[in-house]
Chain A
Amino acid sequence: MPIEKDPLNLIIAGVGGQGNVLASQIVANTAIGAGYQVTMGETYGATQRGGAVMSHIRISRETQYGPVIPEGKADIIVGLEPVETLRVIGDFGNPGTKVILNPRPNYPIGVLSGEAQYPPVEEVLKAIAGLVDSLQVIEATKIAEKLGEMMAANIVMVGALAGSGLIPVKVETFETVIPEIVSGVNLELNLKAFKTGLKEIRSIKPYTHS
């Protein structure tokens, strides 16, 4: 498949424990399967849950790029958590960035203890929509809950990305790569989550604030 922009810079943003790294590994391996040069950078500090986590994925026909995307150069952001998505747009977004977002919040402990406020999700969505080219909202946690495992929201989002047409990789390539990375009892669930995300993005309209 042709690539519109080289390198194509993708960020998957979320919170520790959401399966960010697994989702990114699937996307990066799929791009390798499609014959690209791929680099993936993970920014996580200590492995404790609850910290912000993002993965940078850089896809190129020409050469291998470094594992860190420069300021403002994200083409696509897949957000597993609304406020973390906004934070990533703050550093890497530009008016042409395309965003796919799971709107389910994960509350920082500073919010729980009352030292900080978590803004209403609708306001976060509105703010994001005003900063980027397009926003598509996928209720990934709700979808995953219906499938029987809320934790599969990350793979629902991978499905949504695959179905968005934003990355130059065929859906079938994803489907051959997932079983190579996810094994055992989780495979069936994850394939179902992937397919549901794929269908979902094709049926929804881009977010617009009325």
Chain B
Amino acid sequence: MSIEIDEPGRSLLLMGNEAIARGAIEAGVDFCSAYPGTPSSEILGSLARAAEHLGFYAEWSTNEMVAIEAAGAASFAGLRALTAMKQNGLNVASDFLLTVNLSGTGGGFVIVVADDPSAHSSTNEQDSRNFARFADLPLLEPATFQEAKDMTIWAFELSERLKIPCIIRSVTRFSHGRGNVKLGPIPKRERKASFRGVFLTVPTPMWHSTLHQKMANAREEFEGSGFNWYVGPEQAKFIIITCGSGWFYSQEAVKTLKLDGEVGILKLGTTWPLPEKLIASHLKHAPEVMIVEEVDPFLEQNVKILTAESAGDLGPIKFYGKSSKYIPDVGEIAPDTVISALARIKGVEYHPRDEGYRDKVRSVVGSYAPFRMLSFCAGCPHRPAFWAIKTALKMDGRDGVVAGDIGCYSLGVGPAGYFQSKTLHCMGAGIGLATGLGNLRQFGFEQPVIAISGDSTFYHACIPALVNARYNRSNITYVILDNSATAMTGFQPHPGTGTDARGQAVPAVSIEGICRAIGAEVRVCDPFAIDEAVENLCELLQSEGTGVMIFRRKCTTLELKEKKKPKVRVDPEKCIGDDCGCARFCSRVFNCPGIIWDPEVKKAKIDELVCSGCGVCADLCSRGAIIVEEE
């Protein structure tokens, strides 16, 4: 079901990200831009699908910095603009963020950042709310799916009134959760773009002071916002202050422990600047306060500052939160976190299950359920690419170092990529680190250096480092795993794919063209042609200077959306099992989930459900026992 349906009043099941996108549509958004990043990708993804029909603009940008600047330009020209990103993306965009706050904006400008507590699909779990305080920008945190939609509409209006960007912060559970959302009307689009006046940050102290005034105005407006509410006994002596995902968990905790009669909940939707008068009015009746929020003690510390500043009016208050260790300050929180913390504070007995049952069920799971490690999909071109890297480094024999990067191939640090990648940080860090390692010769460093990135990551953050390698004569081999998609985040197109966010054909930007223009020696080969891949890589490792090895093969999962897969089978006459001496190469060593070991006949077997029909294993089997049947 599409988020663009024009049926006001209808209740739809929308993902948190879709609710934000729908809010933008109901606000009449004109311009949307983003770089994909879990858990934020569906915001622009769903907007892009609606853009053509509803007549607004949407793009997948090369990276978050370009995305925020492009959206900022639309705002300067008087349009309503939205940019969305994951938490690491906001770091990339932060240079502009920390100047556009000063220059101010024109049309409503909303920046959505989706954090990833517990780092399910990330390399950190930073709390991006700190950027709102850092940049002096208003911060909104939706707690329900309905609120996400409504709050996004309000964020555009707020930004337009204050003339600064407004930040909306989500978290994985919320962005990827789904719930009822009642649709509102879609307005008619009639805004025209026109650039008037100037947007500057100098003289800086003057604009800084203007920014502080704007934030004071925001605070005033927040005091009466309908996104902040209180439930519970009027003069409760114990209150929970919460925001975002903490609202559902707190509500469930109070209900589960039957504490509705004595515990109140102050739920805040506007978390920076704080609505101080509203909060103080509740601190006044509550000498005990529990604070529930995800990742950093952002709300907790700001409420404590407020308490210190209002000490004359408030009595002593006892806080329960992250600094007192009731709520963890690392990782994701869950309903159980809040239920057990509240039970402990209030001295209520709570056992989620009978203790005996719990022990029994956990021991059964321990003895029967093997751990399920993430792996490359069956037929993934990254598997033979890592096999080629492993083989080439072994043949080279100088203990080469591989610097990894962000994408599906991040799994190269684990068994999926034969533990080849030794570093993993942020977009583009692999080749940046490699340029450093490649220039350590004068310190006696003799190991060859490989940097890895994907195609989308190449455009996003690798080009300046490649220029640096060439300019400073760094001795590296840069392997680009080009699978023609931003695969990890859901196959979004990028500058090399020849299509844009709205599905229109555009000229592709050539990876090898860029690399050759920089002056690198470039080779291109199909990673499924393993021998050729290893040979090319060995030659690049042996040669001096900046070499680029492009392993090009379309993502198999994407490929299978378009064509029928060939059938692969093991010839039981040719596979002789453990007598072969290959040590079960196909299933155990090459480790493709499409090949299993059949313990009954003691031979390899293809798992038809998982196999993608790529046939790489047929080339690798020394006895030619794996047959690809062409239809």
Residue A46 lies at the interface, judged by CB distance under 8 Å to chain B: yes
Residue B498 lies at the interface, judged by CB distance under 8 Å to chain A: no
A32-B13, A109-B593, A114-B588 as given contacts; A90 in contact with B179, CB under 8 Å: no
Residue A2 lies at the interface, judged by CB distance under 8 Å to chain B: no
Complex-state Cα separation, A180 to B121, whole angstroms: 30
Complex-state Cα separation, A37 to B13, whole angstroms: 10
Residue B157 lies at the interface, judged by CB distance under 8 Å to chain A: no
Chain A positions 13-53 with a Cβ under 8 Å from a chain B Cβ: 15, 17, 25, 28-29, 32, 37-52
Task: Give a binary string over B403-419; 1 marks a CB under 8 Å from any A CB, 0 the rest.
Answer: 00000101100011000
A86 touches B408 (CB 8 A): no
Chain A residues with CB under 8 A of B596 = 107, 112
Complex-state Cα separation, A110 to B120, whole angstroms: 20
Chain A positions 83-97 with a Cβ under 8 Å from a chain B Cβ: 83-84, 86-87, 89-90, 93-95
Look across to chain B and name the residue whose beta carbon is closest to the beta carbon of A58.
B179
Task: Give a binary string over A93-117; 1 marks a CB under 8 Å from any B CB, 0 the rest.
Answer: 1110000000010111111111011
Residue A127 lies at the interface, judged by CB distance under 8 Å to chain B: yes
- Among B256, B336, B489, B607, point to the contact of A47 (Cβ < 8 A): B489
Chain B residues with CB under 8 A of A29 = 1, 13
A70-B256, A109-B591, A112-B596 as given contacts; A41 in contact with B173, CB under 8 Å: yes
Chain B residues with CB under 8 A of A124 = 368
Please tell me the number of chain B residues within 8 Å of chain A, measured between CB atoms: 70
Chain A residues with CB under 8 A of B557 = 49
Look across to chain B and name the residue whose beta carbon is closest to the beta carbon of A181.
B1
A70 touches B369 (CB 8 A): no
Chain B residues with CB under 8 A of A143 = none
A66-B249, A70-B334, A71-B336 as given contacts; A90 in contact with B365, CB under 8 Å: yes
B609 touches A141 (CB 8 A): yes
A127 touches B13 (CB 8 A): no
Complex-state Cα separation, A21 to B418, whole angstroms: 30
Binds A, one of B276-284, B372-380, B387-395, B469-477: B372-380
A42-B176, A90-B361, A94-B357 as given contacts; A112 in contact with B593, CB under 8 Å: yes
B610 touches A32 (CB 8 A): no
Complex-state Cα separation, A39 to B176, whole angstroms: 11
A117 touches B370 (CB 8 A): yes
A65 touches B360 (CB 8 A): no
Shortest Cβ distance from residue B419 to the other chain A in the assembled complex, whole angstroms = 12
Task: Give a binary string over B8-28; 1 marks a CB under 8 Å from any A CB, 0 the rest.
Answer: 000111000000000000000
A49 touches B609 (CB 8 A): no
A46-B488, A70-B339 as given contacts; A86 in contact with B375, CB under 8 Å: no
Residue A147 lies at the interface, judged by CB distance under 8 Å to chain B: no
Complex-state Cα separation, A65 to B121, whole angstroms: 25
Shortest Cβ distance from residue B354 to the other chain A in the assembled complex, whole angstroms = 8
Chain B residues with CB under 8 A of A86 = 364-365, 368-369
A38 touches B180 (CB 8 A): yes
7 closest Cβ pairs, A-B complex: A66-B248, A67-B177, A90-B365, A116-B370, A72-B353, A71-B352, A40-B178
Q: Which residues of B contact A (CB under 8 A)?
A: 1, 11-13, 38, 120-121, 144-145, 173-174, 176-180, 245, 248-249, 251-252, 256, 334-336, 339, 352-354, 357-358, 360-362, 364-365, 368-378, 408, 410-411, 415-416, 487-490, 557, 584, 587-589, 591, 593, 595-597, 607-610
